[in-house]
């Protein structure tokens, strides 16, 4: 795994989630994040436990690199770079992202995906995958704007549908 733990462009910075992000996450969580990403409304205890697991993954060089998406010095959302998932082929990483309502529609998610792709490429991943529920048109639009190509629709073990978007990664 790469040593990179902080990435930035002129607008967005990705850095590992930390415990002082819990309040911002709870304040920013809305029905869209719950529906598309979180799977349930967070509580202080569940969000703290999640952030601690993310911190442990970073410390152990684990397969999930959970970043806070930061802009203007504020936590605007999260993005995970998931290596070594059972549904991925060798060399692939899955990206999962969500922004808080106040930060949507500004191009921040697209920038965060670009930075996450740089992180994955530095770890020698060859392809990034974004799996999107077909009804989540905003997330599909981020994939399109980020240079991903739609390749297929699948169903998981729970019969959830996912549209797969793929982008070839290059270093530099």
Residue 94 has pLDDT above 70, yes or no: yes
CB 83 within 8 A of CB 63: yes
Q: Which pLDDT tens digit goes with each residue over 36-89?
A: 776 678 889 999 999 999 999 999 989 999 999 999 989 999 999 999 899 999
Q: How far apart are CA 24 and CA 13, in angstroms?
A: 16
Pairing of strands 127-132, 92-99: parallel
Domain annotation covers residue 41: yes
Is residue 113 situated within a structural domain? yes
Query: Residue 96 is encoded by which pair of tokens?
Result: 């999962």
Does 159 reside within a domain?
no
What tokens does 118 get? Answer: 């740089």
Taking the complete model, does pTM exceed 0.75, yes or no? yes
Domain with residue 89: its CATH number is: 3.40.630.30
State the Cα–Cα distance between residues 23 and 1, nearest whole angstrom: 29
Give the whole-angstrom CA distance, residue 18 versus residue 24: 11
- Let me know if residue 61 belongs to a domain: yes
Q: What is the DSSP letter of 19?
A: G
The total number of structural domains that make up the chain? 1
Q: Following DSSP, what letter does each residue of 92-124 receive, concatenated?
A: EEEEEEEE-GGGTTSSHHHHHHHHHHHHHHHTT
Residue 1 predicted with pLDDT over 60 = no
| Domain annotation covers residue 138 | no
- Tens digit of each residue's pLDDT (9 = 90 or more) over 112-166: 999 999 999 999 999 999 999 999 999 999 999 999 999 999 998 889 899 999 9
Kindly give, in sequence order, each residue whose CB lies less than 8 Å from that of residue 133, ignoring residues fewer than 6 positions away.
36, 139, 160, 161, 162, 163
Domain range enclosing 44 = 7-123
How far, in Å, CA of 88 to CA of 92, rounded? 6
pLDDT digits (tens, 9 = 90+) for 4-28: 567 999 899 999 999 999 999 999 8
């Amino acid at each position: 795994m790469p040593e990179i733990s902080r990435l930035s462009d002129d607008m967005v910075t990705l850095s590992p989630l930390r415990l002082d992000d819990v309040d911002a996450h709870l304040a920013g969580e809305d029905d869209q994040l719950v529906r598309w990403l979180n799977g349930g409304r967070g509580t202080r205890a569940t969000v703290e436990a999640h952030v601690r697991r993310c911190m442990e993954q970073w410390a152990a060089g684990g397969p999930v690199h959970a970043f806070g998406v930061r802009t203007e010095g504020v936590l605007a959302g999260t993005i995970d770079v998931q290596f070594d998932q059972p549904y991925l082929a060798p060399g692939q990483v899955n990206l999962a992202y969500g922004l808080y309502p106040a930060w949507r529609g500004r191009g921040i998610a697209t920038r965060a995906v670009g930075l996450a792709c740089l992180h994955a490429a530095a770890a020698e991943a060859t392809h990034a995958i974004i799996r999107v529920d077909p009804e989540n048109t905003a997330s599909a639009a981020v994939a399109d704007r980020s240079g991903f190509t739609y390749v297929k629709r699948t169903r998981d073990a729970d019969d959830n549908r996912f549209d797969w978007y793929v982008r070839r990664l290059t270093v530099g």
